[in-house]
């Protein structure tokens, strides 16, 4: 049986960074390469119905080994890494028996992960940490989840004494660019419910997430020679900055936590004639979410009242919704995951996701899908790391969930 450390290290060596600009599915060739490798690996392990579709989605089956019908359960992870930080030439470092001190990721470039900046490191004294070399992300989001699912599947195939119903495995592309569920065939997957292995630190169990939208504000200006611009020039950059200042300064990601929502300016491109602002809007409560969208539209109206009709325009597109509405009617699936964690010595930490997963959209597509920890920290950047023992515990949780699901009355 391949140990999870070796499997994970093999996976992070493949560049699967997604890309919002290609318009393809999967958006990058590395994702397809990784999915093809997973198809080969799952077939070798002994899973059935292993297939890769034209859009890069992998599905496979672990057949039931009990003589009664129980709900089909699924486990899902995504193969891509964030487009925001390079995942090419990942060179992981292994720190065994971590001593609790600052970690030098790259001596030549003086890149250090300090315990003052990242106090969560202290939780893992004595454990084995897998870090970056300071120049790339690691890819634990979500190759840790992929490795955990494949390792659990291999263990279940090799240990038929563990009784379980039919299990479906799914790996998706392009989750990091919000497209992971775009071409997911829920009917074909055929599960009653599923879990994404896409959370962060050990113990996380999540069935709530943000309602999410993207807003694009366009401001049109008028350029005139600055020496003769009085009462003629309309500088779109200055108007765009006025729009930014109209939103509450403290309702931004860096000022919020828990169930607090925010407006997040993620891009600003501007010249005198035209400026564009791109925001993401997030809130857990649907009424507050709708109010945030209305506030942005109202803000644009106020700009047009001041500068003239057509100065500013806004496009708002909903991205995903809070899965809680779809999971609460089947809360036993969260209870099973909680019981599984407790059974293998993991303290459950039930909390909202300050983001989204494939599971959020899949829940609204008819597949209730809460989220379980994959073990990593500081995703999408050079300070990403994952404790080996957290990945090992995630494998145990998967195995225990399928056991409990099969024994439920």
Tokens of residue 189, six digits: 């997957």
Given 41, 80, 206, 396, the catalytic residue: 80
Whether residue 358 lies in the annotated active site: no
264 Cβ contact partners less than 8 Å away, ≥ 6 residues apart: 252, 253, 279, 280, 281, 282
DSSP strand E in 236-348: where? 262-270, 274-283, 312-320
Residue with tokens 């300090």: 114
Cα(113)–Cα(246) distance, rounded to whole angstroms? 36
Three-class SS of 88-151: CCCCCEEECCCCCCCEEEECCCCEEECCCCCHHHHHHCCCCEEECCCCCCCCHHHHHHHHHHHH
- Is the preceding omega at residue 279 within 30 degrees of 0, hence cis? no
CB-based contact 345:394 (threshold 8 Å): no
* Residue 39 C-beta-side C-alpha neighbours within 13 Å: 16
Task: State the CB neighbour count (10 A cutoff) for residue 157.
Answer: 18
Please indicate whether residue 328 is annotated as part of the active site. Answer: no
Q: Are strands 111-113 and 385-387 parallel, antiparallel or unpaired?
A: unpaired
Q: Which candidate in 154, 175, 176, 208 is catalytic?
A: 175
Q: In what order do the strands lie in the sheet with 129-131?
A: 93-95, 129-131, 385-387
Counting Cα atoms < 13 Å in the Cβ hemisphere of 58 gives: 29
Bridge partner residues of 189 (DSSP)? none
Q: What is the 3-state secondary structure (H, E, C) of 25-92?
A: CCCCHHHHHHHHHHHHHHHHHCCEEEEECCCCCEEEEECCCCCCCCCCEEEEEECCECCCCCCCCCCC
Catalytic machinery residues: 80, 175
């Amino acid at each position: 049986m391949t140990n999870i450390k070796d499997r994970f290290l093999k996976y992070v060596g493949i560049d699967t960074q997604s890309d919002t600009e290609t318009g393809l599915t999967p958006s990058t060739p590395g994702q397809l390469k990784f999915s093809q490798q997973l198809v080969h690996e799952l077939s070798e392990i002994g899973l059935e119905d292993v297939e890769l579709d034209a859009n890069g989605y992998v599905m496979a089956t672990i057949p039931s080994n009990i003589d009664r019908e129980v709900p089909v359960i699924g486990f899902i992870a995504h193969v891509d890494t964030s487009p925001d930080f390079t995942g090419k030439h990942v060179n992981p470092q292994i720190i065994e028996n971590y001593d609790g001190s600052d970690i030098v990721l790259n001596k030549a470039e003086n890149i250090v992960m300090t315990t003052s900046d990242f106090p969560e490191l202290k939780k893992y004294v004595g454990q084995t940490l897998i870090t970056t070399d300071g120049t790339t992300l690691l890819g634990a989001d979500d190759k840790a989840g992929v490795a955990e699912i494949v390792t659990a599947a291999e263990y279940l195939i090799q240990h038929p004494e563990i009784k379980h119903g039919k299990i479906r495995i799914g790996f998706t592309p392009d989750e990091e660019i919000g497209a992971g569920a775009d071409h997911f065939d829920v009917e074909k997957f055929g599960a009653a419910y599923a879990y994404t292995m896409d959370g962060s630190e050990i113990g996380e169990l999540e069935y709530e997430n943000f309602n999410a939208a993207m807003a694009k504000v366009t401001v049109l200006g008028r350029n005139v020679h600055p020496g003769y611009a009085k009462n003629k020039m309309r500088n779109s950059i200055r108007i765009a900055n006025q729009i930014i200042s109209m939103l509450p300064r403290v309702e931004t990601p860096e000022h919020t936590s828990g169930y607090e929502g925010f407006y997040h300016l993620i891009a600003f491109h501007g010249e005198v004639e035209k400026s564009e602002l791109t925001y993401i809007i997030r809130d857990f409560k649907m009424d507050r979410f709708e109010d945030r969208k209305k506030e942005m539209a109202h803000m644009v109206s106020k700009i047009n009242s001041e500068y003239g009709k057509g100065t500013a325009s806004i496009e708002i597109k909903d991205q995903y919704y809070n899965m809680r509405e779809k999971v609460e009617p089947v809360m036993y699936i969260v209870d099973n995951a909680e019981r599984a964690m407790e059974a293998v010595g993991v303290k459950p930490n039930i909390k909202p996701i300050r983001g989204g997963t494939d599971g959020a959209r899949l829940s609204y597509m008819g597949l209730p899908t809460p989220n379980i920890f994959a073990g990593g920290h500081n995703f999408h950047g050079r300070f990403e790391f994952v404790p080996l023992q957290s990945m090992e515990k995630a494998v145990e949780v998967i195995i225990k969930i399928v056991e409990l699901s099969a024994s439920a009355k």
